[in-house]
């Protein structure tokens, strides 16, 4: 079969990224320009600043991606772009740039769901074995997704309020850690003890999650200790928080694996970089004799390589967008709108 080269674009939040992916699992080149240092000063992503920076960076990122691959556009089979979920203004820059590239080079345009991208980041780690379950944990999402074939997503549970990433970032802010707090809390938890008692969130028979309660519990605990004139042990609080969150995520995921009798578990999304989550899933999946695929750390947070991997399967099944493609900030994984077919 002829090789397929996809030029993929990701601008849904604060990373401007482009990538060339061969046959859905081979990275030819990728460039990721992170804006974290800019947004850090504001304690989170500022949408207007994010889109302005995408606009300034995108042409350069495209040029660098082609140069790194030592390729020209004529070798590319299709242009893929994230069209949701994400920040409207940020998505728009990537979409308009993708349209321009597709039009100028006469290539098909493939619309890709950002969360499908996170799941397909695992294509760089190994083959998918169906049926499988994906635990998707990011800054905006916490979902359990069932897949019985390529590019088919069924949500079996999800958060009813905050995502895990959001909870991490908010807890970090309360204890004075800069954005994004997730990676630092993870690091601090390695030297802390689980000495603070926190409530286990939504410990029930469903496959849904809730993280707003534990976030409030941490905020209250910090305020109470302050009022009593006591110092918080930040490392211990980080460890207590991480253990509580990881335990419930893993507990429900393992129960879902058993119920749906899947062959494989995929970990996906920015929080999949979390060492506590990776370790406990390793242990529990090992006990069950179930294969666990985890993205390499560089594919955990937003990047265009994962979009190129997902786009390959969208391309094979015939997903195409026309030049009316628009951002869909609240796009659901189970939706397939904006496709011509």
Binding positions for ligand KG4, rule: CB under 6 A = 13, 138-140, 165, 168-169, 180-183, 186, 269-271, 273-274, 301-302
Which of Zn ion, ligand KG4, none interacts with 192 (beta carbon under 5 to 8 A by kind)?
none
**What's the min distance (Å) between Cβ of 72 and ligand KG4?**
30
**What's the min distance (Å) between Cβ of 318 and ligand KG4?**
26
CB-nearer residue toward ligand KG4: 225 or 335? 335
**Residue that has been written with the tokens 């993205």 in this structure:** 295
Q: What is the rounded distance in angstroms from the CA atom of residue 194 to the CA atom of residue 199?
A: 13
Token pair recorded at residue 201: 């969130």
162 binds Zn ion (CB under 5 A): no
138 binds Zn ion (CB under 5 A): yes
- Chain positions 277 to 316 lying near Zn ion, rule: CB under 5 A, are 302
Q: What is the rounded distance in angstroms from the CA atom of residue 115 to the CA atom of residue 215?
A: 24
CB-nearer residue toward ligand KG4: 180 or 327? 180
Cα four-point dihedral sign 113, 115, 118, 120: negative
Q: What is the rounded distance in angstroms from the CA atom of residue 188 to the CA atom of residue 185?
A: 5
- In the beta sheet, which residues pair with residue 26? 22
Closest-by-Cβ residue to ligand KG4 is 270
CB-nearer residue toward ligand KG4: 89 or 140? 140
Q: What is the rounded distance in angstroms from the CA atom of residue 294 to the CA atom of residue 278?
A: 8
CA 204 to chain centre: 26
**What's the min distance (Å) between Cβ of 320 and Zn ion?**
24
Q: What is the rounded distance in angstroms from the CA atom of residue 99 to the CA atom of residue 333?
A: 22
Compute how many residues bind Zn ion; rule: CB under 5 A: 2
**What's the min distance (Å) between Cβ of 301 and Zn ion?**
7
CB-nearer residue toward ligand KG4: 76 or 295? 295
Contacts of 153 (CB under 8 A, 6+ apart): 116, 119, 145, 146, 147, 333, 334
**What's the min distance (Å) between Cβ of 166 and Zn ion?**
12
Which of Zn ion, ligand KG4, none interacts with 95 (beta carbon under 5 to 8 A by kind)?
none
Q: Report DSSP letters for 233-297, one per residue.
A: -HHHHHHHHHHHHHHHHHHHHHHHHHHHT-SEEEEESGGGG-HHHHHHHHHHHHHHT-EEE---G
Which of Zn ion, ligand KG4, none interacts with 271 (beta carbon under 5 to 8 A by kind)?
ligand KG4
Which of Zn ion, ligand KG4, none interacts with 122 (beta carbon under 5 to 8 A by kind)?
none
CB-nearer residue toward Zn ion: 27 or 302? 302
CB-nearer residue toward ligand KG4: 165 or 327? 165
Which of ligand KG4, Zn ion, none interacts with 243 (beta carbon under 5 to 8 A by kind)?
none
CB-nearer residue toward ligand KG4: 189 or 264? 189
Q: What is the rounded distance in angstroms from the CA atom of residue 298 to the CA atom of residue 272?
A: 11
CB-nearer residue toward ligand KG4: 102 or 181? 181
CB-nearer residue toward ligand KG4: 78 or 270? 270
**What's the min distance (Å) between Cβ of 211 and Zn ion?**
17
Which of ligand KG4, Zn ion, none interacts with 180 (beta carbon under 5 to 8 A by kind)?
ligand KG4
The CA distances from residue 22 to 69, 103, 247, 319, in Å, are: 11, 21, 37, 18
- Report the alpha-carbon angle 312-315-319, nearest 5: 140
Q: Report DSSP letters for 80-106, one per residue.
A: EEEEESS-HHHHHHHHHHHHHHHHHHT
**What's the min distance (Å) between Cβ of 50 and Zn ion?**
13
**What's the min distance (Å) between Cβ of 235 and Zn ion?**
27
DSSP 8-state class, residue 338 = T
Binding site for Zn ion (CB under 5 A): 138, 302
């Amino acid at each position: 079969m002829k090789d397929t080269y996809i030029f993929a674009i990701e601008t849904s939040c604060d990373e401007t990224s482009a990538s060339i992916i061969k046959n859905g699992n081979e990275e030819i080149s990728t460039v990721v320009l992170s804006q974290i240092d800019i947004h850090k000063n504001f304690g989170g992503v500022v949408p207007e600043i994010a889109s302005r920076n995408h606009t300034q960076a995108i042409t350069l990122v495209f040029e660098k991606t082609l140069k790194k691959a030592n390729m020209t556009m004529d070798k590319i089979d299709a242009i893929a772009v994230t069209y949701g979920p994400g920040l409207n203004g940020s998505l728009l820059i990537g979409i308009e740039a993708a349209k321009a590239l597709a039009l100028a080079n006469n290539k098909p345009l493939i619309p890709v769901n950002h969360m499908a991208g996170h799941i397909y980041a695992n294509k760089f780690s190994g083959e998918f074995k169906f049926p499988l379950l994906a635990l998707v944990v990011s800054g905006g999402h916490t979902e359990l997704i069932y897949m019985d074939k390529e590019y088919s997503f069924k949500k079996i549970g999800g958060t009813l309020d905050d995502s895990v990433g959001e909870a991490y970032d908010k807890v970090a802010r309360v204890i004075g850690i800069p954005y994004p707090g997730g990676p630092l809390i993870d690091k601090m938890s390695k030297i802390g003890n689980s000495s603070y008692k926190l409530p286990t969130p939504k410990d029930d028979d469903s496959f849904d999650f809730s993280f707003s309660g534990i976030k409030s519990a941490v905020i209250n605990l910090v305020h109470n200790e302050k009022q009593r004139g006591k110092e918080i042990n930040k490392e211990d609080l980080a460890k207590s928080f991480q253990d509580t969150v990881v335990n419930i995520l893993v507990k429900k995921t393992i129960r879902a694996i058993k119920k749906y009798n899947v062959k494989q578990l995929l970990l996906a999304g920015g929080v999949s970089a979390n060492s506590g989550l990776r370790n406990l899933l390793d242990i529990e999946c090992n006990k069950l004799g179930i294969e666990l695929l985890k993205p390499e750390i560089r594919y955990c947070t937003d990047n265009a390589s994962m979009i190129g991997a997902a786009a390959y399967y969208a391309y094979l099944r015939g997903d195409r967008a026309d030049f009316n493609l628009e951002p869909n900030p609240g796009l659901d994984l189970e939706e397939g709108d904006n496709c011509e077919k």
